[in-house]
Structure 1
């Protein structure tokens, strides 16, 4: 047993502690039992009667195979293989170890099959939670690309505001989320996957559509607007940028509904540039410049802290950055 530098305690060496008669009494199995590669090599030698043949079957060189056998023999403290010009033969101890090795390898194969089944089950479905702007204007393209790569994966989309996305992720109801708020919700890790800009819009008949000077931030903050509900990323960003908002003119739960109300002349609104491209190009809505406030925001992928996306969720995350 080796001693620590201070001489007050002991640490086991790589082969584990030994009693006075040299027997192992403690230590990790990983240090005392040959690895699966070595056991598979021993089984191949037993089956083929040739170390060289076993090496070829496992895709390694004969010197590497010989080195692995010698290392295994040192680790176990017994001779396992007799080598001669006529081939390789197991010793009596080697035959016994081979029987044990076969059971270990069979158990490892069952373990691997079970793990693969878990991966297959994980990869068979993906649940995504996304805030409304991302769900409506970005996710469809990403999901089409994902479908071409993983055609057998069933995808479910849960659309809601950024607060609802965080709640679903933390409750284990979604594998990956997308939000558009000011900050990352507590309990989640994130990665910025895109950038967006909010713009003030109004119907062509609204007085703001004909003004010659840009809006001031104070005037925008004091004006009742058609807004998304509390908890939406768009509203969070706008509220933070203006330092507060007037009581909403109308409060709606989807971007589509907010656009429809603005197009109908109910009043001005602030929406993602992603969401109003068609309405601006057809002049159903007019963009109203704002002079002294920046309404840019980051769009983020989010997941529970410490649980980096895997499987289809990881694939989708990579597509958002393509």
Structure 2
């Protein structure tokens, strides 16, 4: 057999069958249509001269030959992945560029410090920042429009890799003279859900986190949808209505008394802020450097 004809994609599928339990699941994990996956494995079987899968109506399983060869296939795929990672790392030179997509809260309150540190350590790397909501960051990564993202969303698409870089908490904020600031009894989650709030647009990590936390309650219509935490903060201070925002976003206003925070009984709005990127799992180059800086910046 000619080594040059060996299909690494087919070997990855074979490993996927071992990991996922069936060819259809392996195809989904690799982002390949089922018919194409079947043809790829069939071609590999012809090349190797042995049956690799036992096909049945309940799904495809590894044959004894396949069970033996998948061990070597896994090593080959892992080595090829490492080769690509090293090659990617060699691209980092004095003309390196890094495009970062960041959700609003991270971009406004954390990234300036992270990028300042990054710039001082890696002045040769040009960084392009795109401020977007979390769902748009996911789309940008999927479309290869950015190299690295930072999001507030409680979930991350399964095809992306992620790691937690920081944590924050959402809190209920109201105008200083709001009736809730004078109550002895805590506001309940049900009361909060039944109240019209100033909210971010759909797709925002802050909006998604709040929606998931209150998903079991009947919800009132929003008072207003606004495109940034700063706009919501200003509106709360002006007496338009209450809102739920990140502690990062309201810290200065809460200290000055421009807005007041109000506890909500039994509602945990703690959340993780994540760095996200396309596979492979092991991040390299400037993106890895920026993520390390973010994770080290614990305040």
Task: Give the TM interval when normalised to the shorter protein.
Answer: 0.5 to 0.7
Superposed CA deviations along residues 134-175 of structure 1, whole A, max 9, x for unmatched, are 010011100000001011211111111110000011111111
Query: Corresponding residue for 2:204?
Result: 232
Separation in 1, partners of 2:124, 2:107: 21
Query: Corresponding residue for 1:257?
Result: 231
Separation in 2, partners of 1:229, 1:157: 21
Give the stretch that moved more between structures: 148-157 or 307-316.
307-316
Q: Of the candidates 183, 187, 192, which is equivalent to residue 215 of structure 1?
A: 187
- How well do the aligned residues superpose, as a CA RMSD in angstroms? 2.1
Query: Corresponding residue for 1:153?
Result: 125
User: What does 1:118-157 align with in structure 2 at a 5 Å threshold?
Assistant: 118-120=91-93, 124-157=96-129
Contact 1:202/1:288, CA 8 A, preserved across alignment: yes
Contact 1:175/1:309, CA 8 A, preserved across alignment: no
Q: Of the candidates 123, 141, 146, which is equivalent to residue 169 of structure 1?
A: 141
| Deviation for aligned residue 1:288 | 0.5
Contact 1:198/1:296, CA 8 A, preserved across alignment: yes
Separation in 2, partners of 1:268, 1:261: 9
Q: Of the candidates 173, 179, 185, which is equivalent to residue 157 of structure 2?
A: 185
Separation in 1, partners of 2:89, 2:206: 41
The structure with higher relative contact order (CA 8 Å, sep 6+) is 2
Query: Corresponding residue for 1:98?
Result: none
Q: Of the candidates 267, 273, 282, which is equivalent to residue 256 of structure 2?
A: 282
Cα distance change of structure 1 residues 116 and 208 upon mapping to structure 2, 3 Å threshold: closer
Cα distance change of structure 1 residues 237 and 116 upon mapping to structure 2, 3 Å threshold: closer
Using structure 2 for the length normalisation, give the TM-score. Answer: 0.67
Superposed CA deviations along residues 72-130 of structure 1, whole A, max 9, x for unmatched, are xxxxxxxxxxxxxxxxxxxxxxxxxxxxxxxxxxxxxxxxxx99984327x62111101
Q: SS of the residue aligned with 1:119?
A: coil
Question: Between Structure 1 and Structure 2, whose CA radius of gyration is higher?
Answer: 1
Contact 2:89/2:285, CA 8 A, preserved across alignment: no
Aligned residues: 212
Using structure 1 for the length normalisation, give the TM-score. Answer: 0.62
Separation in 1, partners of 2:257, 2:289: 38
Gaps of 5+ in 2: 5-86
Give the stretch that moved more between structures: 298-307 or 165-174.
298-307
Indicate yes or no: 2:283 matched with 1:309. Answer: yes
Indicate yes or no: 2:269 matched with 1:295. Answer: yes
Contact 2:88/2:285, CA 8 A, preserved across alignment: no
Separation in 2, partners of 1:115, 1:198: 38
Superposed CA deviations along residues 182-220 of structure 1, whole A, max 9, x for unmatched, are 111242111011111100001102212222221100000
